[in-house]
Amino acid sequence: MRETFDVVVVGAGVAGLSAGWSLATSTGADVLIVERKKEVGDLVRCGEFIPSFTQIRKLMPKAKSIGRFYETFLKNSVCNTIKKIRIFSPRNKEYEFQFDGLVLRRDIFERNIAAEIERAGITLLTKTTAKIVSNKKDTEQVKIALQNQKTSKIVKAKLVVCADGFPIKSGRTNFGAKIKLEDVALCIQQTVESATVDDDAVELYFGKKYAPGGYAWVIPKGNGRANVGVGIRLSFLKQGRYSAIDYMDFFINKHPVSSRYLSSAYLRSLTAKTLWVGGLLPNVHWNRVLLAGDAAGTLIPVNGSGIPTALISGYLAGETASQFLKGNCKLSTYAITLRREIGDIIKRGYLYRRLGDAFIKSDTVFEKVLHIIGKHTLAKVVKCEPISPMFD
């Protein structure tokens, strides 16, 4: 394998693949994508739920690239369509609203993008872990250590797109951002089979007994299959007596609503992952490294939606890299375009999450707040739409 590249992309999740696709379509640059998994799309740790394209256009009107992903890669990777979101309050009062969404086979979706990238001549190296070993100020090259089971070597690149999720493992931890426990959620998820779920509705359950500081979800995949999970904030978990797995068990087997249809379902393997719910990092570029996707903090903090924003940020990182290599822009352009396209929705999501934090500590208070704000405002908060011009 060669030792120098124009761009090295670390991580072939949705953000890294999106950066790769953008680079493949806009330059003749030498690009290497490094992924530590055995194959792209392996070990999906995600609810796989995304808004329909009509919803996305409404939610992120300034995001230019996202439509291309819907047009090009969704074909055979949608396993269910969603028509509504149903929310259960801590005392199990139901709030339901219309929402057009899609449930992905994310493994297929990612492999579709990977195949297109490889067709364009970009090298995708799997089973390899990358670590940035040198990215000094005013440097012209970043050094990256690549390690697989048999060998290790150093490669050099003019630029690196760091798309390795949260927490960033390839470089300095979160590139200097301060990590507070309240900004980190621990998510546990299990795919269930043979459950009598409502295939039209994504269900979200609130309440301290089942998901302190977060919510539990049931995302139907069709034919009795569903992604079932709980997301708990680390700051809440620290104070409690139970582990995240205990909460998952309570949700499946003891919750008065969900246990009725989940306790007898067949449970498949359990996955766990931490997520950053603290909003965009203050610095999304660091000398010659651009951060994309969860590594940059693009997940929407109030609802945990991270796929569309990761795709958008990856694409923008790839575009900026390609323009930078042609001498047409500075790398700081990335931060500007990223904030222009998705900055508002992430900032609003963070603000809503912080507002919610004031009430979510007490089930009684939260129940009352839900009652007062009612279904329409709740729907806006969950979708992360502005609830008044103040939040626009």
- Interface with ligand FAD (CB under 6 A): 10-16, 34-37, 45-50, 129-130, 163-165, 169-170, 187, 189, 229, 273, 275, 293-295, 299, 304-307, 310
The distance from CA 4 to its chain's CA centroid, rounded to whole angstroms, is 30
Nearest distance in Å: CB 56, ligand FAD: 11
Q: How far is the CB of 371 from ligand FAD (least distance, A)?
A: 27
Would strands 201-205 and 184-193 be described as parallel, antiparallel, or unpaired?
unpaired
Q: Which is nearer to ligand FAD, 36 or 380 (CB)?
A: 36
Q: Give me the least distance between CB of 135 and ligand FAD, in Å please.
A: 14
Query: Closest Cα to residue 378, out of 97, 68, 16?
Result: 97
Q: Which is nearer to ligand FAD, 244 or 367 (CB)?
A: 244
Task: For ligand FAD, give the closer residue by CB, 203 or 367.
Answer: 203
Closest residue to bound ligand FAD by CB: 306
CB 58 within 8 A of CB 151: no
Label residue 52 left, alpha or beta by phi (over 0 means left) and psi (-120 to 50 means alpha). Answer: beta
Minimum CB separation of residue 186 from ligand FAD in Å reads: 9
The answer to whether 260 and 203 have CB atoms below 8 angstroms apart is: no
CB of 138 to ligand FAD, least distance (A): 25
Tokens coding 61: 């009107």
Q: 310 or 370, CB closer to ligand FAD?
A: 310
Is the CB of 164 or the CB of 183 nearer to ligand FAD?
A: 164
- Are 352 and 381 a contacting pair, CB within 8 Å? yes
CB 237 within 8 A of CB 146: no
User: What minimum distance in Å lies between the beta carbon of 69 and ligand FAD?
Assistant: 12
Nearer Cβ to ligand FAD, position 312 or 379? Answer: 312
CA 196 from chain centre, in angstroms, equals: 27
Nearest approach, Cβ of residue 42 and ligand FAD (Å): 8
Closest CB to ligand FAD among residues 114, 367: 114
CB of 203 to ligand FAD, least distance (A): 13
Min dist. Cβ of residue 216 to ligand FAD (A):
11
Nearer to ligand FAD, 37 or 339 (CB): 37
What's the CA dihedral at 85, 366, 281, 173 to 10 degrees? -100
User: Measured from the CB of residue 365, what is the shortest distance to ligand FAD in angstroms?
Assistant: 27
Q: Which is nearer to ligand FAD, 13 or 367 (CB)?
A: 13
Residue 383: what are its φ and ψ, rounded to 5°?
A: -80, -15
In the bound state with ligand FAD, the residue whose beta carbon lies nearer, of 160 and 367, is 160
